[in-house]
Chain A
Amino acid sequence: MDSLRILKEKYILFLPPIILIFICLFSLFFWKFSLKDKFSISEIKIKNIEKKLEEEKNLNTSLKRELMQWEDVISKIDDFKKRLGTSNENMTKIIKEIEELSIRSGVVPHSYGFNYGEKEKKYFRSFVINFPFEADYPSVRNFLNLLELTPSFVTLNSINLNTTGEMAEKVRLQFQLTTYFNPEEQ
Protein backbone atom coordinates (compact mmCIF):
# COMPACT_ATOMS: atom_id res chain seq x y z
CA MET A 1 0.00 0.00 0.00
CA ASP A 2 2.88 2.21 0.79
CA SER A 3 4.46 1.61 -2.58
CA LEU A 4 1.21 2.36 -4.37
CA ARG A 5 0.90 5.55 -2.51
CA ILE A 6 4.42 6.55 -3.50
CA LEU A 7 3.75 5.68 -7.19
CA LYS A 8 0.58 7.75 -7.03
CA GLU A 9 2.47 10.67 -5.54
CA LYS A 10 5.35 10.49 -8.01
CA TYR A 11 3.28 9.88 -11.18
CA ILE A 12 4.77 13.01 -12.72
CA LEU A 13 8.04 11.15 -13.20
CA PHE A 14 6.29 8.67 -15.53
CA LEU A 15 4.76 11.29 -17.76
CA PRO A 16 7.75 12.01 -20.10
CA PRO A 17 8.40 8.37 -21.10
CA ILE A 18 4.66 7.67 -21.45
CA ILE A 19 4.21 10.75 -23.67
CA LEU A 20 7.21 9.65 -25.73
CA ILE A 21 5.82 6.11 -26.10
CA PHE A 22 2.43 7.54 -27.04
CA ILE A 23 3.96 9.83 -29.70
CA CYS A 24 6.00 6.94 -31.16
CA LEU A 25 3.06 4.54 -31.24
CA PHE A 26 0.83 7.22 -32.76
CA SER A 27 3.43 7.87 -35.49
CA LEU A 28 3.80 4.16 -36.23
CA PHE A 29 0.03 3.68 -36.48
CA PHE A 30 -0.25 6.76 -38.63
CA TRP A 31 2.41 5.29 -40.95
CA LYS A 32 0.74 1.90 -40.98
CA PHE A 33 -2.75 3.11 -41.87
CA SER A 34 -2.20 6.28 -43.85
CA LEU A 35 1.31 6.93 -45.17
CA LYS A 36 2.05 3.35 -46.26
CA ASP A 37 -0.57 3.62 -49.04
CA LYS A 38 1.12 6.73 -50.38
CA PHE A 39 4.47 4.95 -50.48
CA SER A 40 2.97 1.90 -52.18
CA ILE A 41 1.48 4.28 -54.77
CA SER A 42 5.01 5.38 -55.63
CA GLU A 43 6.00 1.72 -56.00
CA ILE A 44 3.09 1.22 -58.42
CA LYS A 45 4.19 4.36 -60.23
CA ILE A 46 7.72 2.96 -60.60
CA LYS A 47 6.34 -0.32 -61.93
CA ASN A 48 4.15 1.54 -64.44
CA ILE A 49 7.07 3.65 -65.67
CA GLU A 50 9.26 0.54 -65.92
CA LYS A 51 6.54 -1.17 -67.97
CA LYS A 52 6.24 1.85 -70.30
CA LEU A 53 10.02 2.00 -70.62
CA GLU A 54 10.15 -1.68 -71.52
CA GLU A 55 7.49 -1.11 -74.22
CA GLU A 56 9.41 1.89 -75.59
CA LYS A 57 12.63 -0.15 -75.66
CA ASN A 58 10.90 -3.01 -77.52
CA LEU A 59 9.44 -0.51 -79.97
CA ASN A 60 12.88 1.04 -80.36
CA THR A 61 14.44 -2.34 -81.20
CA SER A 62 11.77 -3.18 -83.75
CA LEU A 63 11.93 0.32 -85.33
CA LYS A 64 15.73 0.09 -85.58
CA ARG A 65 15.49 -3.35 -87.19
CA GLU A 66 12.80 -2.12 -89.61
CA LEU A 67 14.80 0.97 -90.54
CA MET A 68 17.96 -1.09 -91.05
CA GLN A 69 16.10 -3.51 -93.35
CA TRP A 70 14.56 -0.72 -95.43
CA GLU A 71 17.89 1.11 -95.69
CA ASP A 72 19.57 -2.14 -96.71
CA VAL A 73 16.96 -2.75 -99.45
CA ILE A 74 17.23 0.87 -100.63
CA SER A 75 21.02 0.69 -100.80
CA LYS A 76 20.81 -2.57 -102.79
CA ILE A 77 18.31 -0.95 -105.16
CA ASP A 78 20.66 2.01 -105.58
CA ASP A 79 23.59 -0.34 -106.32
CA PHE A 80 21.48 -2.14 -108.92
CA LYS A 81 20.41 1.16 -110.50
CA LYS A 82 24.04 2.26 -110.67
CA ARG A 83 24.86 -1.03 -112.38
CA LEU A 84 22.16 -0.46 -115.01
CA GLY A 85 22.93 3.21 -115.60
CA THR A 86 20.87 5.25 -118.04
CA SER A 87 20.52 4.58 -121.77
CA ASN A 88 22.65 7.67 -122.46
CA GLU A 89 25.46 6.26 -120.37
CA ASN A 90 25.35 2.57 -121.28
CA MET A 91 23.51 1.87 -124.54
CA THR A 92 26.49 2.04 -126.86
CA LYS A 93 28.62 0.17 -124.33
CA ILE A 94 26.12 -2.74 -124.28
CA ILE A 95 25.88 -2.94 -128.08
CA LYS A 96 29.67 -2.90 -128.29
CA GLU A 97 29.93 -5.65 -125.70
CA ILE A 98 27.42 -7.89 -127.52
CA GLU A 99 29.37 -7.31 -130.72
CA GLU A 100 32.61 -8.31 -128.97
CA LEU A 101 31.06 -11.45 -127.44
CA SER A 102 29.69 -12.52 -130.81
CA ILE A 103 33.10 -12.03 -132.46
CA ARG A 104 34.85 -14.00 -129.68
CA SER A 105 32.41 -16.93 -130.05
CA GLY A 106 32.41 -16.89 -133.86
CA VAL A 107 28.82 -15.77 -134.16
CA VAL A 108 28.69 -12.64 -136.24
CA PRO A 109 25.25 -11.14 -136.84
CA HIS A 110 24.75 -9.33 -140.14
CA SER A 111 21.97 -7.16 -138.87
CA TYR A 112 20.53 -5.86 -135.65
CA GLY A 113 17.04 -4.75 -134.85
CA PHE A 114 16.54 -2.46 -131.89
CA ASN A 115 13.36 -1.91 -130.04
CA TYR A 116 12.70 0.52 -127.22
CA GLY A 117 10.21 -0.23 -124.52
CA GLU A 118 8.87 -3.49 -125.92
CA LYS A 119 9.34 -5.34 -122.65
CA GLU A 120 8.48 -2.33 -120.57
CA LYS A 121 8.80 -2.44 -116.82
CA LYS A 122 7.30 0.05 -114.42
CA TYR A 123 10.57 1.39 -113.04
CA PHE A 124 13.11 0.50 -115.77
CA ARG A 125 13.32 1.23 -119.48
CA SER A 126 13.90 -1.79 -121.67
CA PHE A 127 16.04 -1.97 -124.76
CA VAL A 128 15.52 -5.04 -126.94
CA ILE A 129 18.10 -6.21 -129.45
CA ASN A 130 17.08 -8.71 -132.10
CA PHE A 131 19.73 -10.25 -134.28
CA PRO A 132 19.54 -13.09 -136.79
CA PHE A 133 22.71 -15.04 -137.59
CA GLU A 134 24.02 -18.26 -139.00
CA ALA A 135 26.50 -20.33 -137.04
CA ASP A 136 27.46 -23.86 -136.11
CA TYR A 137 26.08 -25.29 -132.90
CA PRO A 138 29.30 -25.14 -130.77
CA SER A 139 29.65 -21.42 -131.57
CA VAL A 140 26.09 -20.81 -130.47
CA ARG A 141 26.72 -22.64 -127.20
CA ASN A 142 29.91 -20.66 -126.72
CA PHE A 143 28.06 -17.38 -127.32
CA LEU A 144 25.38 -18.38 -124.79
CA ASN A 145 28.04 -19.24 -122.26
CA LEU A 146 29.81 -15.88 -122.70
CA LEU A 147 26.49 -14.07 -122.47
CA GLU A 148 25.69 -15.77 -119.17
CA LEU A 149 29.08 -14.83 -117.75
CA THR A 150 29.15 -11.20 -118.81
CA PRO A 151 28.75 -8.77 -115.89
CA SER A 152 26.62 -6.39 -117.96
CA PHE A 153 22.91 -6.76 -117.41
CA VAL A 154 21.89 -8.45 -120.66
CA THR A 155 19.25 -11.17 -120.67
CA LEU A 156 18.32 -13.58 -123.42
CA ASN A 157 14.57 -13.80 -123.92
CA SER A 158 14.09 -16.05 -126.90
CA ILE A 159 15.89 -18.17 -129.47
CA ASN A 160 14.37 -18.97 -132.84
CA LEU A 161 16.04 -21.79 -134.76
CA ASN A 162 15.98 -22.64 -138.44
CA THR A 163 18.31 -25.27 -139.84
CA THR A 164 19.51 -24.39 -143.30
CA GLY A 165 18.88 -27.93 -144.50
CA GLU A 166 18.48 -31.47 -143.23
CA MET A 167 22.22 -32.19 -143.15
CA ALA A 168 23.40 -28.60 -142.68
CA GLU A 169 26.16 -27.98 -140.16
CA LYS A 170 25.09 -24.42 -139.57
CA VAL A 171 21.86 -23.29 -137.98
CA ARG A 172 20.04 -20.09 -138.68
CA LEU A 173 19.01 -18.44 -135.43
CA GLN A 174 17.46 -15.31 -134.16
CA PHE A 175 18.26 -14.15 -130.63
CA GLN A 176 16.27 -11.63 -128.72
CA LEU A 177 18.33 -9.94 -126.01
CA THR A 178 17.04 -7.38 -123.56
CA THR A 179 18.85 -4.92 -121.39
CA TYR A 180 17.37 -2.45 -118.94
CA PHE A 181 18.22 1.15 -118.08
CA ASN A 182 17.16 3.63 -115.47
CA PRO A 183 14.75 6.23 -116.82
CA GLU A 184 16.49 9.47 -117.78
CA GLU A 185 15.96 12.21 -115.25
CA GLN A 186 13.82 15.01 -116.63
Chain B
Amino acid sequence: MDYHNLNLSSKPFYNFKILLISLVFIYILSIAIAVYSVNKFYNIFKISEESKNKIESLNNELKKAAKENSNLKERLKPINKKMVVDIAEEINSLILEKTFSWSELLEDIEKILPEEVRLLSLSTSKSEGGYLNVKISGISSKREGMLQTIEALKTNPSFKNIKPVQFQDEEKSSSIGKRFEIQFVYIPRKGMSGKNG
Protein backbone atom coordinates (compact mmCIF):
# COMPACT_ATOMS: atom_id res chain seq x y z
CA MET B 1 0.00 0.00 0.00
CA ASP B 2 1.39 3.39 -0.98
CA TYR B 3 1.90 5.80 1.79
CA HIS B 4 1.79 9.48 0.90
CA ASN B 5 3.23 11.90 3.38
CA LEU B 6 1.29 15.08 2.84
CA ASN B 7 1.80 18.20 4.88
CA LEU B 8 -1.17 20.38 4.53
CA SER B 9 -0.31 22.96 7.18
CA SER B 10 0.06 26.66 6.23
CA LYS B 11 3.48 26.89 8.08
CA PRO B 12 5.15 23.54 7.38
CA PHE B 13 8.35 24.21 9.43
CA TYR B 14 6.80 26.09 12.27
CA ASN B 15 7.05 23.20 14.68
CA PHE B 16 10.45 22.02 13.47
CA LYS B 17 12.58 24.26 15.70
CA ILE B 18 15.70 22.08 15.59
CA LEU B 19 15.56 21.95 11.82
CA LEU B 20 15.20 25.70 11.62
CA ILE B 21 18.03 26.45 14.07
CA SER B 22 20.34 23.95 12.33
CA LEU B 23 19.54 25.38 8.93
CA VAL B 24 20.12 29.00 10.03
CA PHE B 25 23.36 28.05 11.79
CA ILE B 26 24.77 26.08 8.89
CA TYR B 27 23.79 28.75 6.33
CA ILE B 28 25.41 31.49 8.43
CA LEU B 29 28.52 29.34 8.91
CA SER B 30 28.76 28.57 5.21
CA ILE B 31 28.32 32.23 4.30
CA ALA B 32 31.02 33.24 6.86
CA ILE B 33 33.46 30.65 5.52
CA ALA B 34 32.70 31.69 1.97
CA VAL B 35 33.28 35.38 2.75
CA TYR B 36 36.52 34.52 4.57
CA SER B 37 37.71 32.38 1.64
CA VAL B 38 36.84 34.98 -0.96
CA ASN B 39 38.59 37.67 1.05
CA LYS B 40 41.62 35.44 1.54
CA PHE B 41 41.92 34.62 -2.16
CA TYR B 42 41.31 38.21 -3.16
CA ASN B 43 44.20 39.25 -0.91
CA ILE B 44 46.40 36.44 -2.23
CA PHE B 45 45.85 37.44 -5.84
CA LYS B 46 46.27 41.08 -4.96
CA ILE B 47 49.61 40.29 -3.31
CA SER B 48 50.53 38.08 -6.22
CA GLU B 49 49.79 40.89 -8.65
CA GLU B 50 51.86 43.31 -6.52
CA SER B 51 54.74 40.80 -6.42
CA LYS B 52 54.56 40.42 -10.16
CA ASN B 53 54.68 44.18 -10.62
CA LYS B 54 57.50 44.49 -8.07
CA ILE B 55 59.53 41.77 -9.80
CA GLU B 56 59.00 43.54 -13.10
CA SER B 57 60.03 46.94 -11.78
CA LEU B 58 63.03 45.44 -9.94
CA ASN B 59 64.08 43.64 -13.10
CA ASN B 60 63.83 46.89 -15.03
CA GLU B 61 65.89 48.68 -12.39
CA LEU B 62 68.44 45.86 -12.45
CA LYS B 63 68.72 46.05 -16.23
CA LYS B 64 69.17 49.83 -16.02
CA ALA B 65 71.89 49.52 -13.36
CA ALA B 66 73.67 46.77 -15.30
CA LYS B 67 73.57 48.90 -18.46
CA GLU B 68 74.94 51.91 -16.60
CA ASN B 69 77.72 49.74 -15.12
CA SER B 70 78.65 48.37 -18.52
CA ASN B 71 78.79 51.97 -19.84
CA LEU B 72 81.07 52.96 -16.97
CA LYS B 73 83.28 49.93 -17.66
CA GLU B 74 83.43 50.93 -21.33
CA ARG B 75 84.55 54.41 -20.31
CA LEU B 76 87.21 52.97 -17.97
CA LYS B 77 88.51 50.50 -20.56
CA PRO B 78 90.46 52.92 -22.80
CA ILE B 79 92.31 54.44 -19.82
CA ASN B 80 95.83 53.09 -19.78
CA LYS B 81 96.12 53.01 -16.01
CA LYS B 82 99.74 51.91 -15.91
CA MET B 83 100.78 54.76 -18.18
CA VAL B 84 98.72 57.32 -16.22
CA VAL B 85 100.31 56.14 -12.95
CA ASP B 86 103.81 56.29 -14.52
CA ILE B 87 103.22 59.83 -15.84
CA ALA B 88 101.74 60.95 -12.50
CA GLU B 89 104.77 59.57 -10.64
CA GLU B 90 107.13 61.31 -13.07
CA ILE B 91 105.24 64.59 -12.67
CA ASN B 92 105.37 64.23 -8.88
CA SER B 93 109.15 63.79 -9.01
CA LEU B 94 109.44 66.89 -11.27
CA ILE B 95 107.26 68.91 -8.89
CA LEU B 96 109.42 67.73 -6.00
CA GLU B 97 112.48 69.09 -7.83
CA LYS B 98 110.70 72.35 -8.61
CA THR B 99 109.50 72.92 -5.04
CA PHE B 100 112.88 72.12 -3.50
CA SER B 101 113.95 75.21 -1.59
CA TRP B 102 117.59 75.96 -2.37
CA SER B 103 117.38 79.25 -0.43
CA GLU B 104 116.42 77.44 2.76
CA LEU B 105 119.07 74.77 2.19
CA LEU B 106 121.82 77.37 1.78
CA GLU B 107 120.54 79.26 4.81
CA ASP B 108 120.59 76.11 6.96
CA ILE B 109 124.03 75.04 5.72
CA GLU B 110 125.46 78.52 6.33
CA LYS B 111 124.40 78.32 9.97
CA ILE B 112 126.07 75.02 10.80
CA LEU B 113 129.07 74.74 8.49
CA PRO B 114 132.37 74.62 10.47
CA GLU B 115 134.72 77.56 9.84
CA GLU B 116 137.53 75.53 8.30
CA VAL B 117 135.19 73.89 5.78
CA ARG B 118 134.41 75.43 2.40
CA LEU B 119 131.63 74.20 0.13
CA LEU B 120 132.58 73.22 -3.41
CA SER B 121 129.31 71.96 -4.81
CA LEU B 122 125.73 71.10 -4.01
CA SER B 123 123.51 68.89 -6.09
CA THR B 124 120.25 67.04 -5.83
CA SER B 125 119.66 63.48 -6.89
CA LYS B 126 116.83 60.98 -6.97
CA SER B 127 114.16 61.21 -4.34
CA GLU B 128 113.94 59.15 -1.20
CA GLY B 129 110.59 58.80 0.56
CA GLY B 130 109.10 61.86 -1.13
CA TYR B 131 112.17 64.03 -0.54
CA LEU B 132 115.23 64.77 -2.65
CA ASN B 133 118.70 63.51 -1.79
CA VAL B 134 121.27 66.27 -1.54
CA LYS B 135 124.97 65.70 -2.14
CA ILE B 136 127.46 68.30 -0.98
CA SER B 137 131.18 68.29 -1.58
CA GLY B 138 133.52 70.42 0.46
CA ILE B 139 137.13 70.98 1.27
CA SER B 140 138.60 71.31 4.73
CA SER B 141 141.96 72.39 6.01
CA LYS B 142 141.72 69.82 8.79
CA ARG B 143 141.51 66.08 8.47
CA GLU B 144 138.50 65.94 10.79
CA GLY B 145 136.59 68.48 8.64
CA MET B 146 134.23 65.89 7.17
CA LEU B 147 133.30 64.41 10.56
CA GLN B 148 132.81 67.88 12.01
CA THR B 149 130.48 68.72 9.11
CA ILE B 150 128.48 65.52 9.65
CA GLU B 151 128.14 66.26 13.38
CA ALA B 152 127.13 69.84 12.59
CA LEU B 153 124.49 68.63 10.10
CA LYS B 154 123.09 66.31 12.77
CA THR B 155 122.32 69.27 15.02
CA ASN B 156 119.70 70.51 12.56
CA PRO B 157 116.58 68.29 12.29
CA SER B 158 116.12 69.31 8.64
CA PHE B 159 119.08 67.10 7.67
CA LYS B 160 118.21 63.43 7.79
CA ASN B 161 119.95 60.21 6.83
CA ILE B 162 123.41 61.82 6.66
CA LYS B 163 125.99 59.57 5.02
CA PRO B 164 129.64 60.20 4.06
CA VAL B 165 130.28 59.34 0.41
CA GLN B 166 133.96 60.06 -0.17
CA PHE B 167 137.05 61.41 1.57
CA GLN B 168 140.25 62.34 -0.24
CA ASP B 169 143.41 63.86 1.16
CA GLU B 170 144.74 66.20 -1.51
CA GLU B 171 147.92 67.40 0.15
CA LYS B 172 149.88 66.85 -3.08
CA SER B 173 147.54 68.89 -5.22
CA SER B 174 147.76 72.63 -5.69
CA SER B 175 144.57 73.26 -3.69
CA ILE B 176 145.70 71.95 -0.35
CA GLY B 177 142.94 70.41 1.70
CA LYS B 178 140.88 67.38 2.42
CA ARG B 179 138.06 66.91 -0.06
CA PHE B 180 134.94 65.07 1.00
CA GLU B 181 131.41 64.33 -0.11
CA ILE B 182 128.39 63.91 2.11
CA GLN B 183 124.90 62.86 1.14
CA PHE B 184 121.69 63.54 3.10
CA VAL B 185 117.98 64.04 2.80
CA TYR B 186 116.89 67.61 3.28
CA ILE B 187 113.46 68.21 4.80
CA PRO B 188 112.77 71.93 4.98
CA ARG B 189 111.00 73.28 8.09
CA LYS B 190 107.80 73.88 6.05
CA GLY B 191 107.93 70.27 4.84
CA MET B 192 108.23 69.04 8.42
CA SER B 193 105.24 70.99 9.65
CA GLY B 194 103.35 69.84 6.54
CA LYS B 195 104.12 66.20 7.30
CA ASN B 196 103.25 66.56 10.95
CA GLY B 197 100.10 68.51 10.23
A interface with B by C-beta (< 8 Å): 3, 6-7, 10, 13-14, 16-18, 20-21, 24-25, 27-28, 31, 35, 39, 42-43, 45-46, 49-50, 52-53, 56-57, 59-60, 63-64, 66-67, 70, 73-74, 76-77, 80, 121-124, 141, 144-145, 147-148, 153-163, 176, 178, 180
Decide yes or no: A27 and B41 within 8 Å by CB, A53-B62, A60-B69, A157-B97 being known contacts: yes
B124-137 vs A, CB cutoff 8 Å, 1 = contact: the mask equals 10000000000000
A67-B69 in contact (CB<8A): no
Q: List 27 A-B contacts (CB under 8 A).
A: A3-B18, A3-B19, A13-B19, A17-B26, A17-B29, A17-B30, A18-B30, A39-B48, A42-B52, A43-B51, A46-B51, A52-B62, A53-B62, A59-B69, A60-B68, A63-B72, A67-B75, A67-B76, A74-B84, A124-B94, A145-B103, A153-B94, A155-B94, A155-B97, A158-B124, A159-B121, A161-B119
Question: B37 contacts the other chain (Cβ, under 8 Å)?
Answer: yes
Which chain B residues numbered 104 to 138 have a C-beta less than 8 Å away from chain A?
106, 118-124
In the complex the two chains form, what is the Cα distance from A176 to B22 in whole Å? 117
Decide yes or no: A21 and B76 within 8 Å by CB, A35-B44, A161-B120 being known contacts: no
Q: Which A residues lie within 8 Å of B84 (CB)?
A: 70, 73-74, 77
Q: Which B residues lie within 8 Å of A31 (CB)?
A: 40-41, 44
> Main SS of the interface on chain B?
helix
In the complex the two chains form, what is the Cα distance from A159 to B84 in whole Å? 33
Question: Measured between C-beta atoms, what is the minimum distance from B173 to chain A in Å?
Answer: 15
A49-B72 in contact (CB<8A): no
Number of A-B contacts (CB under 8 A): 152
B16-A28 in contact (CB<8A): no
A70-B76 in contact (CB<8A): yes
B72-A153 in contact (CB<8A): no
Partner of B66, one of A7, A42, A56, A73: A56
Decide yes or no: A123 and B55 within 8 Å by CB, A18-B26, A21-B29, A70-B81 being known contacts: no
A49-B123 in contact (CB<8A): no
B73-A63 in contact (CB<8A): yes
Question: Measured between C-beta atoms, what is the minimum distance from B142 to chain A in Å?
Answer: 16
Which chain B residues numbered 9 to 39 have a C-beta less than 8 Å away from chain A?
16, 18-19, 22-23, 26-27, 29-31, 33-34, 36-37
Q: Which A residues lie within 8 Å of B59 (CB)?
A: 49
Q: Which B residues lie within 8 Å of A73 (CB)?
A: 84, 88
B interface with A by C-beta (< 8 Å): 16, 18-19, 22-23, 26-27, 29-31, 33-34, 36-37, 40-41, 44, 47-48, 51-52, 54-55, 58-59, 61-62, 65-66, 68-69, 72-73, 75-76, 79, 81, 84, 86-88, 90-91, 94, 97-98, 100-103, 106, 118-124
A6-B124 in contact (CB<8A): no
> Main SS of the interface on chain A?
helix
Question: Measured between C-beta atoms, what is the minimum distance from A2 to chain B in Å?
Answer: 9
A60-B72 in contact (CB<8A): yes
B119-A45 in contact (CB<8A): no
Q: Output the nearest chain B residue to A35 by Cβ-Cβ distance.
A: B44
Question: Measured between C-beta atoms, what is the minimum distance from B113 to chain A in Å?
Answer: 12
Q: Which B residues lie within 8 Å of A124 (CB)?
A: 90, 94
A20-B33 in contact (CB<8A): yes
B27-A17 in contact (CB<8A): yes
Question: Measured between C-beta atoms, what is the minimum distance from A127 to chain B in Å?
Answer: 13
A155-B98 in contact (CB<8A): yes
In the complex the two chains form, what is the Cα distance from A153 to B94 in whole Å? 9
Beyond A6-B18, A14-B26, A20-B33, 10 extra complex contacts between A and B, CB < 8 Å: A21-B26, A25-B33, A35-B44, A60-B72, A73-B88, A77-B87, A121-B90, A141-B103, A153-B98, A160-B121
